[in-house]
Amino acid sequence: MILQDILKNYRRKNNSPRYTIKIDISKAYDTVDWNFVEDLLNALNFPARFFQLVMICIKSTSYSLLMNGRIQGGFQGAKGLRQGDPLSPLIFVMIMDYLTRCFLHAALDSKFRYHPLCKSLKLINLCFADDLILLSKGSKQSIKVLKEVLDGFNNTTGLFINVSKSQIFFGGVDSREKREIIRDIYLAEDCFPLKYLGVPLRPTKWKAEDCGIIIKKIRLRLNTWGSRHLSFAGRVQLIHSVLLGLRNYWMSTFILPQSVSKEVEKLCRGFLWGMNGNRSRIHVASWEKVCLPKPYGGLGFKEGTKWNQAILAKYIWAITEKRDLLWVKWVNNIYLKRVSIWSYDLKVDTSWYWRKLCRLRLKFPISEILMADSLLCPVCGDQPESHHHLFFDCCLSRRLVELVFQWLGFRGWPLDFACWLSWLSLKASGMVRHVSIAILAATCYNTWLNRNRCVFEGYSKSDSLIALDVKTIVTYRLFIVKNSKLSRQDRDFIHRLKCN
Ligand SMILES: [Zn+2]
């Protein structure tokens, strides 16, 4: 999304010069220099024992050759990280972190100029795994600085840039200067869309062809699977984890056009119920029904439009929560500028994704998110709601406690939080204490559940039913206890609870 904002002005004329470089690091994992990793871990002050373990993992790599079905000897590795080893991505992240610091260090050099919008955050590169994007102002000096850093990086880490797969994108640079820059760094100029993490990005809004990729990918999967040999449950699982997973990944960055979302669902429907030649078989249940959560009789698929909105609402949530994310900082820096997202006025000159996010605010007004309908207790409705009221004062809670205590055979339910603690410490000995804690927890939990039931579903259970729930939870747990290990007194206590 940051990249979207950055690319937004690339087509405009009379822009200040700028460029974006997409770098492909060739054979990223295989060519890492071991000595470099050693120095890096040392410099980051990892504990010696940990450091040794990591180095053993890296250096013990060996490869066996399999030829004509027989193992024909092998050889030891000399550099590189093992692919598929859970350790490797972590080490790689540290290496990229080193690169970022190299860039920042080089940027102190007065010749380097930051990309427009990026100066206050000191943003020079964006990277995820081995996808690397460099940003800078379009001057020859800046690109020279970047190139020096990359060369240095190559010498120290053993990683080098794959020139043929890396591209440069210009904005507002005149053609003579373009030629000179290209000659200096040997990179080819490319035109949009720029593909980052598999998502094509361009200065303008998404085009249908960009979204077409997702449909193409899903079709490809469907063709290879063929629905004939899979059970219904198997197909459901595949839709869940692969097809909708694919869609959700895209949705997490963009609002997909309605048409694409519909098409994806159509493909899933066809796959779920099976196709007969070109025509689909009878659909036993409507898609709306299939999308219901499992307890309500559906299969728990997520309905496209709503799901997309929910995912994007998460971003708004991240902003309101001031999460520690680069993107949140970015948005605060270039759009919000210390204004809260709820009172921010949408400006004309913004990215389309940001406009969509802001429009989404209308769907989830703050009054609905942060305030319940009324401030009174949703259970009894005649006292202001508070923790103390809910757990100690509410008439329903008092009746519930009486019932639970009858069952336990105790007296005197504590009447505030401090008393709770001392009440628990009084029940000093083993089993009785454990059971008391379990009962207290179950009572609180069910009181809370019932309170939520009143808020969201509009009805309350009766005190005797809730007491039954508490008893059931606790008795189930008591069945796990082995009688042979208990004292006689405890055994009697538990026996009484189970029977009442
Ligand atoms: Zn109440």
For the residues of 164-178, what is the DSSP string, one character each?
GG-EEEEES--HHHH
Is the pTM value of this prediction over 0.85?
no
Asked if residue 4 has pLDDT above 60, the reply is: yes
Give me ligand 1 centre to Cα 376, in Å.
Answer: 8
Give me ligand 1 centre to Cα 392, in Å.
Answer: 9
Give me ligand 1 centre to Cα 451, in Å.
Answer: 9
Give me ligand 1 centre to Cα 472, in Å.
Answer: 24
Give me ligand 1 centre to Cα 459, in Å.
Answer: 13
pLDDT per position as a tens digit, 301-339: 777 777 777 777 888 888 877 778 888 888 888 788 777
For the residues of 345-386, what is the DSSP string, one character each?
PPPSSS-HHHHHHHHHHHHS-HHHHH--S-SB-TTTSSSB--
Taking alpha carbons only, the member of 287, 288, 250 closest to residue 272 is 287
Give me ligand 1 centre to Cα 326, in Å.
Answer: 44
- Whole-angstrom distance, CA of residue 123 vs CA of residue 135: 8
Give me ligand 1 centre to Cα 407, in Å.
Answer: 23
Query: Could you tell me the pLDDT band of residue 62, with boundaries at 50, 70 and 90?
Result: confident
Give me ligand 1 centre to Cα 434, in Å.
Answer: 29
Give me ligand 1 centre to Cα 94, in Å.
Answer: 54
Q: Which residues of 69-102 are buried (b: 16+ CB within 10 A; e: fewer)?
A: eeeeeeeeeebbbbeeeeebeebbeebbebbbeb
pLDDT per position as a tens digit, 167-226: 888 777 777 777 777 777 777 777 777 777 667 777 776 666 677 777 888 888 877 776
Decide: 261 and 305 in contact? Cβ < 8 Å.
yes
Give me ligand 1 centre to Cα 436, in Å.
Answer: 24
Give me ligand 1 centre to Cα 372, in Å.
Answer: 15
Give me ligand 1 centre to Cα 438, in Å.
Answer: 24
Give me ligand 1 centre to Cα 412, in Å.
Answer: 20
Mean pLDDT of all residues belonging to the chain: 78
